[in-house]
Structure 1
């Protein structure tokens, strides 16, 4: 099960995903993240993945979709706190060369 929470401060919206990000949860993650971006217009979206316990390739679609959404709206995008297993998926796909990944939560 995936849990999605948000925090907004000073033009920065942080969307935190916790639990399992698989093909069952990917659409929900995209839709809720987009709803939050509409509710809290921001200059920067931080996608915190520190709470993920599992991610399959569907997580790539979520991150790429949010990256493109931010690029279209002129909003900065950062992925933060990615655990080792999901990070291996991102690295295999070459995403660290395309977008910013930060350590920490």
Structure 2
């Protein structure tokens, strides 16, 4: 499944919408997009991602550490059940900022 990535700025947040499977073959596309188009406040909208493997999980964790460590914020929103389960099983729901919607992610303080 082809991965599609697009970004827009909403209220100071860079919202990165991702569609398709996020795996070892497609992670480089998202990684490059994040490198080129993000600020220090990022929300990744995963509503269009039905599958993510550990490569995608690792990318999300890397960006979380990178931005939070530099005083920025990295959030994820709208995870599908299978993707949310991956974060629960790895106990990253306790570490990362996961929100039900993009609106909730950009509004949270």
TM-score normalised by structure 1 residue count: 0.88
What's the counterpart of residue 45 of structure 1? 42
- Range with greater deviation from structure 2 (70-79 or 84-93): 70-79
Return structure 1 stretches of 4+ with deviation > 2 angstroms.
none
User: Aligned pair 1:86/2:87, yes or no?
Assistant: no
**Structure 1: gaps (5+ residues):** none
What per-residue deviation string (whole Å, max 9, x for no partner) do you get for residues 14-51 of structure 1? 011111101101122112112111xxx34x21011001
The one of 82, 97, 102 equivalent to 1:100 is: 97
Structure-2 separation of matches of 1:101 and 1:10? 19
3-state SS in 2 of match to 1:49 = strand
Would you say the 8 A contact 1:7–1:15 is kept in 2?
A: yes
User: Counting strand residues as a fraction of each chain, which structure ranks higher?
Assistant: 1
Structure-2 separation of matches of 1:26 and 1:51? 15
- RMSD value, Cα: 1.3
User: Aligned pair 1:72/2:73, yes or no?
Assistant: no
TM-score normalised by structure 2 residue count: 0.85
Structure-2 separation of matches of 1:68 and 1:28? 19
- Tell me how many residue pairs correspond in the alignment: 101
User: Aligned pair 1:15/2:16, yes or no?
Assistant: yes
